[in-house]
Amino acid sequence: MLKMKNNYFQRLFWILVIAGIWKAISLSGLFSPLIFPSPETVLKSFYLSLLNGELIRQTIISLSLILRGLIISLIIALILSLLAISSKTFAGMVETLLAIAHPLPGIALMPLVLIWFGAGTKAIIFIIVHSVLWPLVLNLLTGFRAIPEIYRLVGENYGLNSLKIMWYIMTPASLPYFLAGIKIGWARAWRALISAEMLFGAAGGIGGLGWYIFKKRVFFDIPGVFAGLIVIVIIGVLVEDLLFNKVEDITVKRWGMQI
C-alpha cells in the first residue's frame, strides 16, 4: 500500500512539473496562444465540454468501440494461439499470418475497409481488431512456448487430456505474457480508434474522441483538441493503475510469475 501511494505521489509530482513547463512556455511568447494555449484555457475548455455532456458522450462511445474490439481480439487470439501449440500445421498457418499481418499498419487497410464496411462502427472495430490481434497472438505464443515441458508432463500424470492441459495449465502459466499483450493491445486500440474516427467520421451518429478532436481541429479550437487529448491520457493512466496493476498484483506478482 505504501509503495502504491509513493507511485501516485511521484506521478502527481511529474504531472505538476509538466504543467509548470507548459505554463512557462505559454507565458514565454514563443508561440501564439491560438496554437499553444495556456493550461487554464485548456482546463476551461475541458470543463465546459464535460458540463454540456459532449465529451462524456463521445468518451463512452470510444470506450464501447475499444471494448468490443478488445473482446473480439482476445477470443480470436486465444483460439489461434491454442491451435498453434496443438498442431505444427496450425502453427505454420498462424506464423504465416503473423508475418503477413503484424507489420501491416491498420491505416494502410483503411481504403479497403471503407469499401468493405463503409464509414461506420463495423469499419472502426475491424481496424481495432487488426491492430490488437497480432501483438496479442505473438505474446500468447511466446508465453506458451516459454512454459517448461514439466508442466505438460505433470498434467498428463494427473490424467488430463490435451484440451484440459491447455486450459488449466498452459493458459494460466502464460498469464504474464497474456497481460503484457493486453497492455500493448490496449494502447494500439486507442491509436487505431482515433485514426479511424478521424478518417471515417462519426460512428453511431455522434462519434467518439477521435471525431471530437477532429471537429475541434477543423474549427481551430486548439484548447478543445488538448481537452480531448487529456481525456485519453486520464483514461490511460486510470486503466494502467486501477486495472492492469491491480490484476498483476493479485495474480502474477502474488504467484511469483512476474516477467
**pLDDT one-digit tens code per residue, 70-104:** 999 999 998 888 888 877 888 888 889 888 888 88
Nearest-CA neighbor of 144 among 73, 76, 74, 86?
Answer: 86
Residues whose CB falls within 8 Å of the CB of residue 11, separated by 6 or more in sequence, listed in order:
237
How many Cβ atoms from other residues are within 10 Å of residue 133's Cβ?
A: 26
Q: Give the C-alpha separation, 35 to 31, whole Å.
A: 7
Q: Give the C-alpha separation, 37 to 41, whole Å.
A: 6
| Joined grid coordinates for residue 248 | 498483476
pLDDT band at 255 (very low <50, low <70, confident <90, very high): low
Nearest-CA neighbor of 64 among 208, 250, 235?
Answer: 208
Sequence ranges of the domains in the chain: 52-250
pLDDT band at 107 (very low <50, low <70, confident <90, very high): confident
Tell me the average pLDDT across 182-202: 81
Q: Give me the pLDDT at residue 76, please.
A: 92
**pLDDT one-digit tens code per residue, 126-166:** 888 998 999 888 888 888 888 777 877 777 787 777 777 77
Q: Which residue has the higher pLDDT, 6 or 218?
A: 218
pTM of the prediction? 0.80
Nearest-CA neighbor of 69 among 177, 196, 171?
Answer: 196
Of 25-39, 46-60, 171-185, 199-213, which gets the smallest average pLDDT? Answer: 199-213
**pLDDT one-digit tens code per residue, 37-70:** 888 999 999 999 888 888 888 889 889 989 999 9
Q: Give me the pLDDT at residue 73, please.
A: 92
Of 7-11, 177-181, 237-241, which gets the smallest average pLDDT? Answer: 7-11
Asked if 144 and 101 count as a contact pair (C-beta separation under 8 A), the reply is no
User: Is the CATH code 1.10.3720.10 the one for domain 52-250?
Assistant: yes
Query: Up-side HSE of residue 11: CA atoms within 13 Å toward CB?
Result: 12
State the DSSP H helix or E strand holding residue 4, giving kind and residue range, or none if neither. helix 2-28
- At residue 57, what is the residue type? R
Find the helix packing angle between 2-28 and 39-51, rounded to 10°: 110
Q: Give the C-alpha separation, 22 to 26, whole Å.
A: 6
CA distances for 204 relative to 36, 61, 123, 223, angstroms: 32, 8, 12, 25
